[in-house]
């Protein structure tokens, strides 16, 4: 990796240093929740924060919390996560934390004196790769009751409370991590994990909402008949109906608003025999939407689509909602602030929704929350080939610094 000169050098050396912790021979980075690799990374981060004079603690949920400034006033908080997926990259999550750190360093160099404290947080276990417990730290911080997670086991049969005990963090004390009442605003920078910014040659994106998620399962019931003895005009082929539904779902989403996504990720057919017309078929439909209205409309329109396909194919059908998660809008004041500070820093931006979930979605319902995306090369993430250019990283840190300056002066 080429090390940039000048302004971006400090942030980039942090990206490189943190990226070495948990790095494998394959070039991937693996820092799973409550492992020695993540602990080493947390300790590294704590040392970096303390070198800037921040009072740094590891809270009851394993979040690294570093505070600049005195007093009990609610804090302006900036952060992201430093855990990774298995064989992940150096930027997803880590860059948001390191840009927050760089932002604080820039403000100190500028002689800024925060009137309210600024807290930098690295949330525990955003990815959830070890115990299927994503956004664990931010959920604990938001005061969610996580008691139902006590029986989670990792792939080796280690229970979550035992893994936490290795960090001297008792599972029963998780409620101590609740911190919303000490928080007045939250900002998170993250890599885009898509190609929208890169394709438009933009420096950054201001997130409007974290998309809602609708999961449907559609089953078609036809008739299993002999593949040779049944004429083509006398069939009730459930898999054929499912295939037509897949094509129709793609056309439906393509004709919708630009942030709409719909994906058929699974297909089942029964009896699953070479010479039998499929009598039963089922597909999953994963839908991402940016507003509550779009969520309701998507379900209604996909139900109608499935009914039309089934009727045309002479088969019965049923639609089940597997899961439905409402979109989480970002705060308009924070969105405007990020857009304004980005423009002042000379960054070309757009507004866009986040198709992926982030820790910010657990703070946004309670405190004014904003998110800034920086470009991901080729849109790659959760992969050792993740990359964001040093200049884009530094510009992101500058925008965070200017936004933190305003928020901490109030």
> Which residues are at the interface with Zn ion (CB under 5 A)?
92-93
Q: What is the pairing mode between strands 212-221 and 316-325?
A: antiparallel
Q: Give me the residue whose beta carbon is nearest to Zn ion.
A: 93
CA pair distance 290, 268, nearest whole angstrom: 29
Name which of 93 and 375 has its Cβ closer to Zn ion.
93
Minimum distance from CB of 62 to Zn ion (Å)?
Answer: 16
Name which of 80 and 408 has its Cβ closer to Zn ion.
80
Minimum distance from CB of 251 to Zn ion (Å)?
Answer: 32
Name which of 79 and 93 has its Cβ closer to Zn ion.
93
Name which of 89 and 390 has its Cβ closer to Zn ion.
89
Phi, psi of 14 (to 5 degrees): -65, -45
Name which of 93 and 117 has its Cβ closer to Zn ion.
93
Q: What's the CA dihedral at 114, 119, 120, 126 to 10 degrees?
A: -150
Minimum distance from CB of 32 to Zn ion (Å)?
Answer: 14
Name which of 386 and 402 has its Cβ closer to Zn ion.
386
Name which of 256 and 357 has its Cβ closer to Zn ion.
357
The closest alpha carbon to 95, from 238, 193, 202, 7, belongs to 193
Minimum distance from CB of 3 to Zn ion (Å)?
Answer: 24
Beta strand extents in 239-377 (DSSP E only): 261-263, 267-270, 280-289, 316-325, 328-329, 349-354, 369-374
- Collapse the DSSP code of 146 into the 3-class scheme (helix H, G, I; strand E, B; otherwise coil) and give the result: coil
Beta carbons of 374 and 352 less than 8 angstroms apart: no
CA pair distance 158, 131, nearest whole angstrom: 9
- The residues, ordered by sequence, that sit 6+ positions from 360 with a Cβ below 8 Å of its Cβ are 138, 186, 188, 207, 210, 328, 330, 369, 371
Beta carbons of 166 and 34 less than 8 angstroms apart: yes
Minimum distance from CB of 38 to Zn ion (Å)?
Answer: 14
Minimum distance from CB of 92 to Zn ion (Å)?
Answer: 4
The answer to whether the Cα torsion of 389, 391, 396, 401 is positive or negative is: positive
Minimum distance from CB of 193 to Zn ion (Å)?
Answer: 8
């Amino acid at each position: 990796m080429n090390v940039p000169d000048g302004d971006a050098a400090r942030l980039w050396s942090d990206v490189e240093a943190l990226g070495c912790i948990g790095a494998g021979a394959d070039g991937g980075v693996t820092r799973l929740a409550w492992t020695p690799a993540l602990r080493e990374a947390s300790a590294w981060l704590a040392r970096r924060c303390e070198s800037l004079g921040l009072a740094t603690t590891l809270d009851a949920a394993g979040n690294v919390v570093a505070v600049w400034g005195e007093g009990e006033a609610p804090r302006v908080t900036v952060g992201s996560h430093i855990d990774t997926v298995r064989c992940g990259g150096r930027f997803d999550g880590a860059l948001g934390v390191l840009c927050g750190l760089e932002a604080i360093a820039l403000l100190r160099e500028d002689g800024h004196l925060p009137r309210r404290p600024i807290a930098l947080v690295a949330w525990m276990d955003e990815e959830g790769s070890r115990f299927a417990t994503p956004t664990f730290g931010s959920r604990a911080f938001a005061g969610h009751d996580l008691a139902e997670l006590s029986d989670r086991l990792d792939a080796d049969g280690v229970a979550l409370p035992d893994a936490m005990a290795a960090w001297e963090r008792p599972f029963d004390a998780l409620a101590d991590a609740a911190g919303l009442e000490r928080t007045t605003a939250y900002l998170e920078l993250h890599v885009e994990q898509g190609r929208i910014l890169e394709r438009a040659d933009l420096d950054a994106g201001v997130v409007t909402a974290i998309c809602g998620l609708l999961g449907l399962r559609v089953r078609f019931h036809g008739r299993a008949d002999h593949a040779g003895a049944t004429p083509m005009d006398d069939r009730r082929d459930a898999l054929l109906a499912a295939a037509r539904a897949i094509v129709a779902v793609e056309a439906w989403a393509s004709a919708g608003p630009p942030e709409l996504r719909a994906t058929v990720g699974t297909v089942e057919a029964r009896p699953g025999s070479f010479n039998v017309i499929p009598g039963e078929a089922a597909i999953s439909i994963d839908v991402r939407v940016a507003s509550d209205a779009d969520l309701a409309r998507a379900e209604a329109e996909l139900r109608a689509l499935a009914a039309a396909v089934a009727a045309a194919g002479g088969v019965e059908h049923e639609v089940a909602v597997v899961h439905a998660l409402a979109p989480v809008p970002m705060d308009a004041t924070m969105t405007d602030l990020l857009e304004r500070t980005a423009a002042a820093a000379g960054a070309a931006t757009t507004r866009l929704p986040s198709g992926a979930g982030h820790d910010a979605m657990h703070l946004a319902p309670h405190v004014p929350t904003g998110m800034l995306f920086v470009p991901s090369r080729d849109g790659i993430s959760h992969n050792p080939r993740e990359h964001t250019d040093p200049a884009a990283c530094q510009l992101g840190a500058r925008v965070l610094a200017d936004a933190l300056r305003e928020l901490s002066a109030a």
